[in-house]
Amino acid sequence: VSTQSTGAKGRHTGYGRRKGTQNARMPFKVLWMRRQRVLRRLLRKYREAKKIDKHLYRELYASSKGNQFKNKRVLMEAIHSKKAETQRQKLLVEQAEARKTKAKITADKKAKDTKKEQAATEEA
């Protein structure tokens, strides 16, 4: 068994073997850059596939830069929840519009009936 394969398997990496700090061994900046690239790639892919619009893209891009999402899965969950929320809002607006039009129709009908009744009482 060669030392290369044991290193690849993660052997001999205990506390006693370590000389540098955690940041020296795997820089935070490198981890940050990798995460940002992954998240931004996903956002670009979703925007090009028309899964998200440009407004949601900008919002999520800014929040990913602000360290809101620790990984791709969390970002995807956020995208799904935001889309569901906008869909729900759209549905509520449509329902409100339908209620308004229905109420207007019934009010017009009622007004028409009262006018007929008044005309009938005036004739009599």
The pLDDT, as a whole number, for residue 53 is: 96
Query: Which of left, alpha, beta for 28 (phi over 0: left; psi -120 to 50: alpha)?
Result: alpha
Q: pLDDT (tens digit, 9 = 90+) per residue, 8-54?
A: 999 999 999 999 999 999 999 999 999 999 999 999 999 999 999 99
The pLDDT, as a whole number, for residue 36 is: 98
The pLDDT, as a whole number, for residue 2 is: 87
The pLDDT, as a whole number, for residue 85 is: 96
Q: Looking at residues 86-113, what average pLDDT do you find?
A: 96
The pLDDT, as a whole number, for residue 83 is: 96
Q: Is the pLDDT of residue 124 over 80?
A: no
Q: Is the pLDDT of residue 68 over 80?
A: yes
Residue 2 phi, psi dihedral angles, 5° rounding: -80, 160
Q: pLDDT (tens digit, 9 = 90+) per residue, 79-99?
A: 999 999 999 999 999 999 999
Q: Is the pLDDT of residue 3 over 90?
A: no
The pLDDT, as a whole number, for residue 1 is: 73
For residues 69 and 88, give the distance between their C-alpha atoms in angstroms, rounded to a whole number.
23
**CA separation, residue 41 to residues 13, 36, 48 (Å):** 32, 8, 11
Residue 92: both structure tokens together: 């509520």
